[in-house]
Amino acid sequence: MDRSVAWRAALLQALLLALVAVVLAATLPRSFFEDWGWLAGPGAWGACALAVGAVLRLPFAWVLAGAALSGLPMLLGVAVGIHWLGSPLALAVFGVWCGRLAGGRLAVAA
């Protein structure tokens, strides 16, 4: 595993996601998130993950798969009514996934 890539992936994902969240919160009404948050959240997570993959030059399909798997811990937070509860864990899982991609631990057909 490439720890440098893992840290950079997790931090860049957090930074991009925070930026997207601030922009969306500033431009859209609360009702949008109540009605479409189930789609906007995972969409933002996936789009930011693809941007991270592009910056770190990782294979897009595997990055998107890692984003989907790492997003699962956030469902726990949503289920208990604390939306951001799973975010730190999800960011860590995404970082480790990207670190393993960069380190060649996952069988990647480039």
List the chain domain ranges: 3-103
Residue with tokens 């969409």: 43
Q: Pick the residue with more confidence: 81 or 31?
A: 31
Q: Report pTM.
A: 0.86
Q: How many CB atoms lie within 10 A of CB 26?
A: 7
For residues 96 and 87, the answer to whether their CB atoms sit within 8 Å is: no
Q: Is the pLDDT of residue 94 over 90?
A: yes
Confidence class for position 9, pLDDT limits 50, 70, 90 = very high
- Predicted confidence at residue 105, as pLDDT, reads 57
